[in-house]
Amino acid sequence: MAGSGTAHMRNTVDSVLTVRDLTVEFRISKNKIVKAVSGLSFDVVKGETLAIVGESGCGKTTMARAILQLPPPNSGEVIFDGTDLTQLPKENLRSARTSMQMIFQDPISSLNPRLTVHQLIDEPLEIWDRGTRVERDERINKLLFSVGLEPDLVLNRRSYEFSGGQCQRISIARALALDPRMLICDEPVSALDVSIQAQILNLLLFMKETHGLTMLFISHDLAVVKAISTRVMVMYLGKICEVAPPDVLYTKPAHHYTRALLNSVPIPDPTKQIRTELLQGEPPSPMNPPSGCRFRTRCVGASALCAEQEPQLREISPGQFVACHHPIV
């Protein structure tokens, strides 16, 4: 299924981020090219949380980094707030990034171990010269307090003195320091314990409401995504399979890959075990993706057509878009 197309694009004036035909490839030797992201298009509307789901290696993180131009994509447009980031000179790109912040997967290694919490959060404020020393200190205290940390206890400590959950709170405070419009969260809770995971997810939901944020939320865990997103995009080998609001996607998945992902999620209820049609094998190499639909080699519904022609995204019910020749009905 993994296919191309732009039917799911809304092209409204409310779009905070519009990505068109994004392609990222890495050359690893003379003739070998890893096609990490291939012709991806989507838009994120103000106030929305778009979740991006897929297995390891499907290009989720590469895509997020390409949006921030870390590194820039091989081709495609990334339009944030009306400007195409791929065309911006370096200096303008730096200032554009202030309104687009990222939270990383590993909370401990994403904080500089040699800086105190005060220095970590002050750094962006100092670089962008936001207010006087007193104003900045006040801002830092406010931020720490809002993420549930006691400023007096944490300000002079360093990241290794904290647990994973506390480090993730510090990361959130740092990301919000410059009042961004958009937050890109790359698997922010997958390294955390279940009980801590719930605390961080609720904190992100709260921050989104109080700061009016738009979010891009990357995760491989469909259950986590369901709790936080307003729109879900399923990816496979650098392409889009399905885009839909969570309640539709989880009750009526149209893509065979989406259904296989859902069937894999263990449900904490021994009376409700659904175990039909488990996905077999592992994704093929992105160096040599299958022709046509990239999912066809593992798909139960694949036909000859799937090898010849790449499916395009199309709307099969209001708000639900699928790239598949034989969607589940």
Query: Do residues 80 and 66 touch, judged by C-beta distance below 8 A?
Result: no
Q: Which of residues 203-232 bind other proteins (CB under 8 A)?
A: 205, 220-224, 226-230
Q: Rule CB under 8 A: is residue 318 a binding residue for other proteins? A: no
Query: Which x/- pattern, by CB under 8 A, does the window 99-138 give for other proteins?
Result: ----------------------------------------
Q: Identify residue 279 by its one-letter amino acid code.
A: L
Interface region with other proteins, contact rule CB under 8 A, candidates 122-130, 150-158, 270-278, 305-313? 270-278
CA 12 to chain centre: 21
CA dist 170 and 147 (Å) reads: 8
Contact window for other proteins (CB under 8 A) among 113-121, 123-131, 188-196, 288-296? 188-196
Whose Cβ is closer to other proteins: residue 172's or residue 260's? 260
Nearest approach in angstroms of CB 329 to other proteins is 21
Among 13, 152, 275, 318, indicate the residue that binds other proteins (CB under 8 A): 275
Question: What values do phi and psi take at 300, rounded to 5?
Answer: -80, -20
Q: How far apart are alpha carbons 36 and 23 in whole angstroms?
A: 8
Q: Which residue has the tokens 């890109």?
A: 184
Pick between residue 86 and residue 197 the one whose CB is nearest to other proteins.
197
Residue 158 is given by DSSP the state B
B/e letters for 76-113, b = 16+ CB within 10 Å, e = fewer, are bebbbeeeebbebeeeebeebbbebbbbbbebbebbee
User: Which of 92, 67, 88 has the alpha carbon at shortest distance from 17?
Assistant: 67
Query: Any contact of residue 199 with other proteins (CB under 8 A)?
Result: yes
Task: Please report whether residue 286 would count as binding other proteins according to CB under 8 A.
Answer: no
**Of residues 114, 132, 134, 194, which one binds other proteins by CB under 8 A?**
194
CA nearest to 36, candidates 7, 5, 93, 76: 76
Residue 56 in the binding site for other proteins (CB under 8 A): yes
Least Å distance between CB 79 and other proteins? Answer: 28
What the block records as the tokens of 315 is 């709307």
Q: Which is nearer to other proteins, 55 or 81 (CB)?
A: 55
Beta bridge partners of 78: 19
Residues that bind other proteins (CB under 8 A): 55-56, 163, 165, 193-199, 201-202, 205, 220-224, 226-230, 245-247, 250, 260-273, 275, 278-282
